Amino acid sequence: MHFGFQPSVCNPASPNEKGTDEESVGYVRRATFGERSSFASISEATEWLKMRLVEINDHPVYCRSNVPVQGLDQEQALMHPLPTLEYENYELKRATISWYSLVKHDGNYYSIPDTYRPRYITLKILVDQIDFLDGNAVIASHRRITGKQKYSLDITHYIKTFHRKPGAPANSKILAQSDELIQNMFNYYYRDDPKKFLPILDLMRETLPDAFSSTLAILNKQNIDPTCDSIRFFLHQTDVPMVEPFAFKGYFEVSEPDLAVFDHFMEG
C-alpha cells in the first residue's frame, strides 16, 4: 500500500513458485553464517551480518553491469519516502498468569508484578526482549531467555508478597537471581530480621536498578551500613558543581605612589 506495488503471492507450501526469493535468502545465509555461526549475543550477530551484507552488495553480480550498491543508487530516485513510523519486528500473543505471578513463554518463566490483577496479559516478543503489556502500558520487561525451564525473576515484582511473608526472600529463587550486591546486603544485614529489609524493597521499586546497585557499591566502599536512610541519602545526592580555579600568586602588587600629588593637595 505504501510503495504502490501489487503483490503476487504463491500457493501455500509451494516455495518452488518463488525460487528467486528462496535462493537469495540461502545465498545470504551461506555467505554470512557459513564462515561463522557462533556469537556471544544477538547484537554481535547483527553487526556481523551488517558487515557481510556490505561486502556482498559491493560484489559484482552475474549478467549485470552494476554492483548492487550502484543499482540501488539508481533506483532510489524512483522510490517513495520511507514510512515515518519506525518498524519493529515483534510478535504479539496472549498468555496466562500463574498464581505465582509468572508467565510462561517458549518453555521459560518470567515474573509479573504481584499487584497485577487480570488473569491474562499481552506479550510483545522481540528478538532479545519481551515486554508485558496492559493495553499500551508496559508493566514488566525481561531479557528473553534461551533454553528451557529457566526463570527470569525481578525481586521488585514480589514486594507485596514479601510484605505479607517477610521470611520468604531468604531461600527464594528471586533473591538468588538478584544482583550480588543485593544478595550480600540481605545475607549480612537482614537475614535474621527480614522485616527491616521491606522498606529497602520499597525503595528499590522507585529506583532504577543501575542507580541502586551503584549506591550499594558506594556504601560498601565507604564501609557504611546499607540502611534504608543511608541508601536513600546517597540515591538523592546531587553532584556539587565544580568552581573554576583562578590564578592567585599569593601577594598583591602595589605601584609606588607619587608623593608629589599629595604635596600639591597640601599646598592647595
**Among 7-16, 58-67, 184-193, which stretch is predicted with the lowest mean pLDDT?**
7-16
Give yes or no for residue 92 having a pLDDT over 90. yes
Residues of the domain holding 223: 157-235
Q: What pTM value is reported for the model?
A: 0.68
Residue 200: closest CA among 170, 227, 179: 227
Q: Report the b/e string of 126-148 with b at 16+ CB within 10 A.
A: eeeebbbeeeeeeebebebbeee
Kindly list the distances between the CA atom of residue 16 and the CA atoms of 5, 80, 237, in Å, as whole numbers in the listed order. Answer: 22, 30, 65
Do residues 114 and 71 share a domain?
no
At 14-58, the pLDDT tens digits run 877 877 778 888 889 999 999 898 999 888 999 999 999 999 999
In the chain, the percentage of residues whose pLDDT exceeds 90 is: 45
- 103, 123, 152 - which closes a domain: 152
Q: Cell for 124?
A: 510483545
Could you tell me if residue 208 is inside a domain? yes
Could you tell me if residue 13 is inside a domain? no
At 64-81, the pLDDT tens digits run 888 999 988 888 888 888
- 41, 76, 111 - which closes a domain: 76
192/164 Cα distance (integer angstroms): 17
pLDDT class of 234 with cuts at 50, 70, 90: confident
